[in-house]
Amino acid sequence: MTDPVPTSHFNDPTVLVTLTGPDQSGVTTRLFADLAPFGVEVIDVEQLVVRGRLILSALLTVPVDVADLETAVHAVGEAFGLEVAVEHGTGDNRARRVGRAQVVVLGAPLRPAAMAALAQRIKDDGGNIDRIVRMARYPVTAIRMEVSGADPDQLQSDLAAVAYEQGVDVAVQENGILRHAQRLVVMDVDSTLIQGEVIEMIAAHAGCEAEVARITESAMRGELDFGESLTARVALLAGVEVSALDAVYDSLTYAPGARTMIRTLKRLGYRFALVSGGFTQIIERIAAELGIDYYAANELEVAEGRLTGRIAGRVVDRAGKATALRQFAEEARIPVKNTVAIGDGANDLDMLAASGLGIAFNAKPLVRDQARTSVNVPYLDAIIYLLGITREEVEAADAAD
């Protein structure tokens, strides 16, 4: 086991060298080659290029002949036409590891006012932004900020309020090794994985679509108990030919980015589950098509080729969704804190709360207000940015296939 860094090292003298200007080949090589004779230790390095502009910083231990080191660094700057700054201080950034979090901001578009408001809130919470990296430029702009010094739970609560005011989405996750572990993604289906509500599509074949839609909306807003509302809606479907389910399945439209999200995360070993208040006759076919590992849904009772207007077996309701999430996590041998739940309706709230990362996706106001994380852009693959994956990495993986 590696010994920890002695606390006294946090106060050792250091020198920070920063070069800025037009990016050119060979700058990094030349800088460290010219530093080599001074016998210094490299403590930290950061390099960033934005539209051809370079920022290169190196934190070093202080050599005996520090004046000569400064002269050498300025010579590198002159050779490449770069501005040079040399700052003396103590320690490095290891002492500020307490309260480290990853803050991801999604905007379509992302405005300067939103970034200013979020940065101010981070500062007010005692945090410092150590690094900012772009995760994606389209279909949304996604920016990741690495923050230290603030409590992640407090940040999540405070930044969510700012994000709502600014019309952007924000997710906060505590940094740590578990963030890189295998995860189980549990998704609602209707109006989350797919566009629209399956029960309303079936109701169109029974001539009662408007009535079913009215009950559905009321249930999703949390105004009606889901189980009671489901019973009432299914009763209206009595007499529909079971062949109508084939037509409904053939007409399904997945949310934009759904296939990309599933394909990308499965490459990384993620598992997927569908937990739906909808119906197994549709859900099991979706699961087979997309390579989903687990699913739970309600089963429509069928007799003599027609729907009876009843549910066969136990209803998968709000509590049932949370139970299914825990069951699937156990089967996959993945800790519940490493689960991601995605949903849009009031009957998803227990599932979102039970998961390690609950995401309200284009959700009703009641759900958005109670969920820890909210995504309000119509692209399901935007969720991969919350998990630390960049758009460039997605495209590179797709190109390699």
Secondary structure of residue 180 in the 3-state scheme? helix
Catalytic residue numbers read 188, 190
Q: Rounded to whole angstroms, how far apart are CA atoms 33 and 125?
A: 41
Q: Specify the DSSP class assigned to residue 194.
A: B
> In sequence order, which ranges of 81-208 are alpha helices (DSSP H)?
112-124, 152-166, 198-206
Helix (H) or strand (E) holding 220: helix 209-220
Q: Rounded to whole angstroms, how far apart are CA atoms 344 and 325?
A: 16
Q: Rounded to whole angstroms, how far apart are CA atoms 372 and 310?
A: 35
Burial 265-278 (b: 16+ CB within 10 A, else e): bbeeebbbbbbbbb
Residues with Cβ within 8 Å of 261's Cβ and at least 6 positions away in sequence, in order, are: 380, 381, 383, 384
Q: Specify the DSSP class assigned to residue 165.
A: H
Per the structure block, which two tokens stand in for 195? 């566009």
User: In one letter, which amino acid is 104?
Assistant: V
CB 126 within 8 A of CB 75: no
Classify strands 13-22 and 53-61 as parallel, antiparallel or unpaired: antiparallel
**Strands ordered across the beta sheet of 357-361:** 306-312, 294-303, 271-279, 184-187, 339-343, 357-361, 373-375
| C-alpha torsion sign, points 297, 303, 309, 314 | negative
Question: In 3D, which of 298, 395, 386, 283 has the Cα closest to residue 342?
Answer: 386
Classify strands 373-375 and 357-361 as parallel, antiparallel or unpaired: parallel
* Helix 280-290 / helix 258-267 crossing angle, nearest 10 deg: 60
Per the structure block, which two tokens stand in for 50? 């934005």
Question: In 3D, which of 10, 17, 33 has the Cα closest to residue 93?
Answer: 10
